[in-house]
Structure 1
Amino acid sequence: MTIRKTVTLVEEINSEYGARADPPLRRVAIAAVFENPLAGKAAGADLKPLIDTSLELGASLTRTALTALGASPAELRAYTKAAVVGTGGDLEHGAAMIHPRLGMAMRRAIKRGRVIIPGHAKVGPPGTAVDLIYGPLDEGWDLDAFDSTPVLIHDAPRPNEIVLWIGYATGPRVNARCKGPDQKEVDALVASFGKN
C-alpha cells in the first residue's frame, strides 16, 4: 500500500448556542490517502487487497486518532467511518474498505464497540466532501451520541486513489437532549407486529 498522505482534524467544542460543554466535546477525524490497487481494473476484481488494507489502516489510524485526541478508549462515546473513491475506481472499492473488516480493526484497537459503526462510501473527484456520521459505541439507542461533521481533502482523491476516513468523539453533542426509545421499547413494538 502506498499512502500519499494522512490528514488529521481535531475539534474541541466548548459551547453551542449558549450551552457550555463541561468537559468540552472533542472529535477527531483522520484520513489516509492511498493508491487504489483496483483502479482501472474490470468490475468483479477480487476485493481482498482492499479488505486487507482496511484492517491495517483501521488499526494504525485509530492509534494516531487517539493520540491526536488526547483520549483513552474509555473516554470515547462515538465513532464513524467513510471512504471516497477516486473516479478511476468504483463504489464497491469504497464499500470493501469500510464494511467487511474496518470496524473490527477499530474495535480491536479500542477494545470496545458493540454497536455498528455508521459508514458510507462515494465516488468523486479531488475535493469531494463526505459527511462523517458519528454513532454510539456501546449502546445503540444512545441518541445523544449521534453527530456529524463534513470533511474533505482539497487534492484527494485523485482518480487512482481512495480516501479512508475514521473518527472518534469523546461525548454527546453539546446541549444534547433528544431522548428516544430504549431497546426494550423497540423490542416490544416489533413483537406487537406479530400479534395482528
Structure 2
Amino acid sequence: MNRIRRISTIRDEVLEDRGRRPSEPLIRVAVAAAVGNPWFASSVEDFAADVRKICPPLAQEMMRRGLDALGQPVEAFGKAVVVGLGGETEHGDALVHNPFFSDVVRLGAGGTSVIASTESRGPAGTAVAVPLCHVTAAGTRSHYQGMTVRVADAPEPDEILVVVALSSAARPAARIGDRRTDPPFDPTPWRP
C-alpha cells in the first residue's frame, strides 16, 4: 500500500433536524486518509498498474474503519478526493474511479449502485462536500445527502486526501419524492 500519513474518522449523529426527529438517529461516518500521491512530480500516462496495487488495501482499510464506526448497515455512500497543490486532479480520480477501489467500497457497503463522488485540488485544510446516494437504488432521493469533511493538515502538496462517507439512513423527514414515481415531464419548452 502507498504511504498513509494519517487517517481521520468522523462520526456524526443527527438526532433532530429543524424540529423533525427521525425514528432512529441518522448516523453518518467519513473516513479520510491522507495518502502519498504516487504520481507526484512524475509524468505517468497510464495509472492502471499502480491502482491495481495501491487501491484494494487502501479501500479495505477505509471500509473496515468506516463500517466499525457506523456500527449498522449502510444505506448510502459516497467518495471524494482532494489532491494536494503539487498534483493533478486526475491523480485523485485515478485512486477512486476504478474497480480496485470502488468495488471494495461497494461490496463492503452491500451496494450495487454507482458511488456518488467529487474531486478537487487544494491546500491543507480544504473542505470537501462528499455526496451520498442510496447503495442499491441511486434514484432514491431520500438518501441524497452530503457530508462535509475537512482535515486541518491534509492534503500536503504531495498527498491526496481520499474520503469515503457512509450513512445509516435517509435524511430526516425526507419528502421530495422519488425518480421512479415522478409524473412524466416534457422538457421540450425548455430546450435551447
* Fold match (TM-score > 0.5): yes
Aligned-pair distance for 1:56?
Answer: 1.6
Aligned-pair distance for 1:189?
Answer: 7.6
Name the counterpart of 1:97.
95
Letter in 1 for 2:139: W
Letter in 1 for 2:107: R
Give 5+ residue unaligned stretches, structure 1: 191-196
Q: Residues of 1 paired with 2:64 and 2:156: CA distance?
A: 26
Letter in 2 for 1:166: V
Aligned-pair distance for 1:34?
Answer: 1.3
Letter in 2 for 1:103: S
Deviates more, 1:174-183 or 1:112-121: 174-183
SS at match of 1:175: coil
Q: Residues of 2 paired with 1:26 and 1:131: CA distance?
A: 16
Output aligned runs, 1:131-146, within 5 Å: 131-146=129-144
Aligned-pair distance for 1:88?
Answer: 1.3
Name the counterpart of 1:40.
41
Letter in 2 for 1:61: M
Q: 1:47 to 1:159 in 2, by over 3 A?
A: farther
Deviates more, 1:49-58 or 1:156-165: 49-58
Name the counterpart of 2:189.
none
Give 5+ residue unaligned stretches, structure 2: 187-192
Letter in 2 for 1:142: T
Name the counterpart of 2:190.
none
Q: 1:136 to 1:146 in 2, by over 3 A?
A: same
Q: Residues of 2 paired with 1:47 and 1:127: CA distance?
A: 29
Letter in 2 for 1:64: R
Q: Residues of 2 paired with 1:28 and 1:56: CA distance?
A: 19
Per the normalisation by structure 1, the TM-score is 0.87
Deviates more, 1:18-27 or 1:98-107: 98-107
Pick the aligned partner of 2:166 from 151, 160, 168.
Answer: 168
Output aligned runs, 1:1-196, within 5 Å: 1-42=2-43, 44=45, 46-71=47-72, 75-101=73-99, 102-110=101-109, 112-182=110-180
Q: How many equivalent residue pairs?
A: 184
Q: Is the 8 A contact 1:38 1:45 kept in 2?
A: no
Q: Residues of 2 paired with 1:79 and 1:13: CA distance?
A: 16
Q: Residues of 2 paired with 1:99 and 1:116: CA distance?
A: 10
Q: Is the 8 A contact 2:147 2:165 kept in 1?
A: no
Identity in percent? 29
Q: 1:39 to 1:30 in 2, by over 3 A?
A: same
Q: Is the 8 A contact 2:27 2:168 kept in 1?
A: yes
Aligned-pair distance for 1:108?
Answer: 2.5
Per the normalisation by structure 2, the TM-score is 0.88
Q: Is the 8 A contact 1:157 1:163 kept in 2?
A: yes
